[in-house]
Structure 1
Amino acid sequence: MAGGVVLISSSIVRPGNSNQSGRTKIHLTPFDLSLLQFDYPQRGLLFPKPDQDFHLISRLKASLSLALEIYFPFAGRLVKTDNLEDNTVSFFIDCDGSGARLNHAEAKSISVSDLLQPNGSVPDFIKHFFPADDLKSSDGVTEPLLVIQVTEMKDGVFIGYCYNHMVADGVSMWRFLHTWSKICSSGLASEHQPLALKGWFLDGIDYPIHIPVSDAKRPSPTSGELSAVPITKEKVFHFTKKNISELKAKANSEVGSSDMTISSLQAVAAHMWRSIIRHSGLRREGETHCKVVVDLRQRLNPPLENNCFGNMISTAPATTTVEELLDHGLGWAALQINKFVRSLTNESLKSFAEDWVSNVKNLKSGLGSRMVGDTLVVASSPRFDVYNNDFGWGKPIAVRSGPGNSINGKLVLFQGVEEGSVDVQTTVWSHVLVKLLADVEFTEHVTIA
């Protein structure tokens, strides 16, 4: 490893109960399979340093083993089947107990203050705090579906992880992390309820879904394409409860509709969208997109349990021209996002799935273009309770996203430390960031962390 980070050990941690007689086979929906070529999402929590007698690694391993008994899909593997009769492949998750990977690393020269820079900048070395930054969902055939790295710093501990997005979404991953932390701090796993799998598949769609072999192959961008991409920088923008309240009130006053209420998240996303696109140098007649990741559990009919495990997300892509976005106000931009979020109904989701099976699309498109810079992707959610994950030596100090799926315009939203606040880890081209920080209209509604 690099960046002052040294790998000490790497091991496979299996569920404590190794009896696989009742192993589960999880079929994949179009919403899962559309993520086949996505990078493993990467998130991480920064903690204070525990006492020396805490036995950090051994306790984390033991409790992880117990947590994987409950969240057994994370200990499985992706299985690919070759369908020779029609030159296609299909996939499913085999919960075979193969295990998750846990890396132990040290960064003795790096302190908490090095990572939490006062201006909100995200240091380049943080990428070495996350494991497996080149894994895509399709790699789950040979690689663990969950990979964790525990990095001991000079005065802190960083627990970074990545997971296969076809197996779980942010809702499921943060619930797993909360369960793991409770087991580690208490040593008990018996009080936790059995895992509720999503148990959902659209009527009329046969599984396993067949995918043309050519579409299922892992894409590999040429070196020429990568060298032409401008340099991106990351910064954490902090929205206080007051910032958010003002943006929400402004957006709703501009909309002026009694039956259209702009949410806090939509107001923040619209503010970021307009501000970033304003400085991206795009043609006014060109299109721009804001893709918001949405939880589908309560949008289906009948709705699923809020805590069911699996990947249950889709993207609401608001699209307009650069001219329209910039010539209208915050409320108009937020309304475009609102309309597309509301359009994710049971009927529209079923239609999407049926169309996807017929055309097998979006497999190689990823999150968006690295080159154009016309798209914002709003991922994660400030509703996730990230600061209540205490493994037994103290609550997290901060939360960060890793380099996976990084494109210009990626926004990862987290709960802020103060109640009602939101942190937005923003990835943009470096020249756009310079202009953004000098934009008074943008900075008056945000705090530079």
Structure 2
Amino acid sequence: MTPPPPPPPPRSVRFISDCFVKPPQLPDGWNRPLHLPPWDLAMLSVHYIQKGLLFPLPPRCLDPGFDRPAFIRSFLEKLKRSLSSALFHFYPLAGRLATLKRADPPFYTVFVDCANSPGARFIHAALDMTVADILSPTYVPDVVQSFFDHDRAINHDGHTLSLLSVQVTELADGVFIGLSMNHAIGDGTSFWLFFNSWSKIFQAQEKGAVDVVPLSRPPALTRWFPENHPGPLSLPYTDDPSSLLARFEAPELRERVFHYSADAIAGLKAEANRQCGTTSISSFQSLTALVWRCIARARRFPPSQVTGCRIAANNRARLDPPLSPEYFGNSITPVRTAAKVGELLGSGLGWAARLLHTAVAEHSSAKLREWNEDWIKRPQVYHLDKTFDQYSIMMGSSPRFDKYGNEFGLGKAVALRSGYANKFDGKVSAYPGHEGGGSIDLEICLPPTTMALLEVDPEFMAAVTDS
């Protein structure tokens, strides 16, 4: 019998050009060091944020007689012009990290230097694949990781790498716009505020607006420091910062996006509240409880094993007084709860959801200030392999972010995807569903064996609408 032909070689991204983009002008104070508070400095050892949107090209671009190269050139120039205007408002993203050292007394701190930088990076790349090639496989193809710059970079690398990099990857019938943003400069709220602002500026310039477009929601760039500690803050480094930094390599993972309709989520919320005799448990807490239970079951841990669940909590409104919703920086901490596997699986959905609800409700301004005071006494940075253990799950991102409202003259994106960054066994990222209306997509990362068991878990799959 004739053996089957070998599989085709994997297609790879071709890099066509790159350049750096600066603001057309700079606001007052741009040349002063931007010192980083504890929530920012704690991020120095984790990866950049890597998120992007997949857009189909207009049908006319696929016509044989259409001048597609001219269309792409014009599109890229419009992106660069609007990016430049966006950087006027978000000028720290055009900077670099720098280190201030003093010998006596010993002092070592990292800050943003906006005066000595070529700007944000902008890359044009291409790939001989279609939109369907990206979306139709059950698991997210590995090639998607190539849609983002700064692969595997940690935030401390922002001393030499751009703090923001935009990669526009041209597909056979689509375009992927991928952003890599240094996580020491901002969290997911900051990331999507920038993405949303860039989109609004692009649309305004399409209508003839000037280079610097005013924003209805400008970022609040002044960093929040705890009282009596205005900064700069010293880190326990010597000349070699490796004592605090670590590079994390993820194990082999399957990455799959599961979709939950608004009705399915409403059903989970109703059931969790019914089991607890309350109405206070939220939709997201109910969905998180489901995922926590089902992944714990798929991992086949013994009943006595303690398993944790962490939720990335936005602290802006929790502080007293609260921060601006447009605060540009990191204002997140992981809220953790834990239980023995036997308790988690032996009790109902509502039991797990109530644990999560209680942990979130107790995440107070007093606890946040205590965290900052403790950090100042004992500075440390997050290490992915220590902060997030193999027995836990971590719910990151948020379905509340306006991710599908970003348009760049191509209509609405058809999908959101992420890069290699900050993924590990049990990482779950929550996105709004494409159709909106309260639907949610969960990007779940698990080892192949665990993923296979999750995919046949009746409780889990009963809630999945499609994926």
> Is 1:257 the equivalent of 2:281?
no
Counterpart position of 1:401: 418
Counterpart position of 1:106: 126
* Counterpart-to-counterpart distance in 2, 1:308 and 1:394: 29
8 Å contact 2:37–2:223 — kept in the other structure?
A: no
Deviations along 1:336-364, one digit per CA (max 9) or x if unpaired, are 22122122211110001111111223x25
Give the structure-1-normalised TM-score. Answer: 0.92
* Counterpart-to-counterpart distance in 2, 1:334 and 1:143: 41
One-letter amino acid matched to 2:336: P
Equivalent in 174, 179, 186 of residue 197 of structure 2: 179
Deviation at 1:4, TM superposition (A): 2.1
* Counterpart-to-counterpart distance in 2, 1:21 and 1:365: 33
Structure 2 gap segments, 5+ residues each: 1-9, 62-67
Deviations along 1:212-235, one digit per CA (max 9) or x if unpaired, are 11694264569xxx6xx7521000
* Counterpart-to-counterpart distance in 1, 2:302 and 2:107: 41
Q: Secondary structure of the equivalent of 1:213?
A: coil
* Counterpart-to-counterpart distance in 2, 1:190 and 1:277: 49
Equivalent in 41, 44, 55 of residue 47 of structure 1: 55
Number of residue pairs aligned between Structure 1 and Structure 2 = 437
Structure 1 gap segments, 5+ residues each: none
* Counterpart-to-counterpart distance in 1, 2:307 and 2:41: 25
Counterpart position of 1:416: 433
8 Å contact 2:134–2:140 — kept in the other structure?
A: yes
Query: Cα 1:118–1:21, aligned 2, differ >3 Å: closer, same or farther?
Result: closer
8 Å contact 1:15–1:97 — kept in the other structure?
A: no
Q: CA RMSD in A?
A: 2.2
State the identity as a percent: 37
8 Å contact 2:55–2:412 — kept in the other structure?
A: yes
One-letter amino acid matched to 2:421: G
Q: Secondary structure of the equivalent of 1:12?
A: strand
> Is 1:191 the equivalent of 2:214?
yes
* Counterpart-to-counterpart distance in 2, 1:22 and 1:248: 47
> Is 1:315 the equivalent of 2:334?
yes
8 Å contact 1:382–1:414 — kept in the other structure?
A: yes
Matches within 5 A, 1:21-420: 22-50=30-58, 51=61, 52=68, 53-54=70-71, 55-96=74-115, 98=117, 99-107=119-127, 109-117=128-136, 119=138, 121-187=139-205, 188=209, 189-193=212-216, 194-213=218-237, 216-217=241-242, 219-220=245-246, 230-257=251-278, 261-361=280-380, 363-366=381-384, 368=386, 373-418=390-435, 419-420=437-438
* Counterpart-to-counterpart distance in 2, 1:341 and 1:165: 23
Deviation at 1:18, TM superposition (A): 5.2
Deviation at 1:118, TM superposition (A): 5.7
One-letter amino acid matched to 1:133: D
Deviation at 1:284, TM superposition (A): 2.3
8 Å contact 1:20–1:96 — kept in the other structure?
A: no
Deviation at 1:25, TM superposition (A): 2.9
* Counterpart-to-counterpart distance in 1, 2:112 and 2:382: 21
Deviation at 1:199, TM superposition (A): 4.0
* Counterpart-to-counterpart distance in 1, 2:402 and 2:29: 35
Query: Cα 1:169–1:97, aligned 2, differ >3 Å: closer, same or farther?
Result: farther
Query: Cα 1:27–1:230, aligned 2, differ >3 Å: closer, same or farther?
Result: closer
Deviation at 1:323, TM superposition (A): 2.1
Which range is displaced more, 230-239 or 176-185?
A: 176-185
* Counterpart-to-counterpart distance in 1, 2:301 and 2:271: 26
Q: Secondary structure of the equivalent of 1:433?
A: helix
8 Å contact 2:26–2:91 — kept in the other structure?
A: no
Give the structure-2-normalised TM-score. Answer: 0.88
Deviation at 1:311, TM superposition (A): 1.6
Q: Secondary structure of the equivalent of 1:204?
A: coil
Which range is displaced more, 25-34 or 127-136?
A: 25-34
Q: Secondary structure of the equivalent of 1:447?
A: coil
8 Å contact 1:18–1:97 — kept in the other structure?
A: no
Larger Rg, first or second structure (1 or 2) = 2
